[in-house]
Amino acid sequence: MTETDKLYYGEMLKRDRLIPFFVRDKLICFISFYITNNPDKFIQRNNPWSVEEDEPETGKIAYIDQIWSDKKKYNHRYSFEVWKRLINFIKQNFPKVEEIYWHRWKNDIIKVFKKELKNVNKNFDFCKNECKAYCCNIITTLLKNNRTPQEENEVQLILAHEGTQLGEKDGVQYIEIKTRCKFLTQDNECLIYEKRFDTCRRYECEKLKKEMK
């Protein structure tokens, strides 16, 4: 990888336009992309390593710009998993995107491919209208299993307040507190979705998983 490559990938990472893929903590591949309504702007640019402005708020196309992979560690058995994770990332972070574009050179001719993201907004409609953004109306805090008497007293004090309850998952206890996120609108939409907290990005909704099956 040249210095030009590194500068490009570094800048795309800063802009959240680069997705790294790991297998057992080893980096095997990363993909850079743009969100746009006009992929030709990126396909036909003179310098393929230039970093351009895109349209994250309104773009309906995710254009895959560059792909790097470790040839010794990456093979075809990972291709499906990488593709699935890429689609999920685009859906979660850019809900207006309807298609993914990429291109290949063949005989000095650019051939453009595209894939429609079916039901791209289904999960967001479910969260907004069916689930009523349940995960944005609660917050949880993990507890130690072996608590001192003073720590247990503090836990019971919290549980004595309305809107709190004790839960347990995989042997780990937690307190669930009902409180609405201040960034959630009355229509159950997130005001800071593009810059939401890491915990929100990592959250996997069990209700949504069942809905999407």
* End-to-end Cα distance, the chain: 40
Query: What's the CATH code of the domain at 31?
Result: 3.40.630.30
Residue 209 pLDDT: 63
Q: Which of 66, 94, 120 is the last residue of a domain?
A: 120
Higher pLDDT, residue 51 or 87: 51
H or E segment and range at residue 118 = none
Average model confidence (pLDDT) across the chain: 84
| pLDDT at site 120 | 44
Q: Are 89 and 82 in contact, with CB atoms under 8 Å apart? A: no
Residue ending a domain, among 89, 120, 151, is 120
Give yes or no: residues 198 and 149 share one domain.
Answer: yes
Please indicate, yes or no, whether the overall pTM of this predicted structure exceeds 0.85.
Answer: no
**What's 184's DSSP letter?**
B
Q: Which of 16-25, 124-133, 140-149 is least confident?
A: 124-133
Q: What is the mean pLDDT of residues 130-158?
A: 90
One domain, residues 27 and 95: yes
Residues 88 and 156 in one domain: no
Query: Based on the domain organization, do 34 and 137 belong to the same domain?
Result: no
Cα 130 to Cα 144: distance, rounded to the nearest angstrom: 34
Better pLDDT: 54 or 130: 54
Residue 46, burial from CB neighbour count under 10 angstroms (0-12, 13-18, 19+): exposed
SS3 call for 100: strand
Q: Do residues 136 and 111 both lie within one domain?
A: no
Q: Are strands 138-142 and 164-169 parallel, antiparallel or unpaired?
A: unpaired
Q: Which helix (H) or strand (E) holds 139?
A: strand 138-142
pLDDT in tens, 108-118: 777 888 888 76
Q: Would you call 196 helix, strand, or coil by DSSP?
A: coil
| Helix (H/G/I), strand (E/B), else coil: 149 | helix
Of 97, 120, 143, the one marking the end of a domain is 120
pLDDT digits (tens, 9 = 90+) for 160-194: 999 999 999 888 899 999 999 998 888 888 877 76
User: Who wins on pLDDT, 36 or 89?
Assistant: 36
Across 71-75, average pLDDT: 67
Q: What is the extent of the structural domain holding 137? A: 129-212
Q: Say yes or no: 159 and 185 in one domain.
A: yes
Examine the domain organization and report whether 116 and 54 are in the same domain.
Answer: yes
The answer to whether residues 7 and 24 belong to one domain is yes
CA angle 118, 81, 84 (to 5 degrees): 15
Q: Are residues 20 and 72 in the same domain?
A: yes
For the CA atoms of 63, 58, 89, 66, what is the dihedral angle to 10 degrees? 20
Q: Select from 138, 123, 120, 121 the least CA-distant residue to 176.
A: 138
75 lies in the same domain as 49: yes
Verify that 116 and 172 share a domain, yes or no: no
**pLDDT at residue 141 tops 60:** yes
Q: How confident is the model at residue 63 (pLDDT cuts 50, 70, 90)?
A: very high
Same domain, 18 and 67: yes
Number of Cβ atoms within 10 Å of the Cβ of 86: 18
Query: What is the total count of domains within the chain?
Result: 2
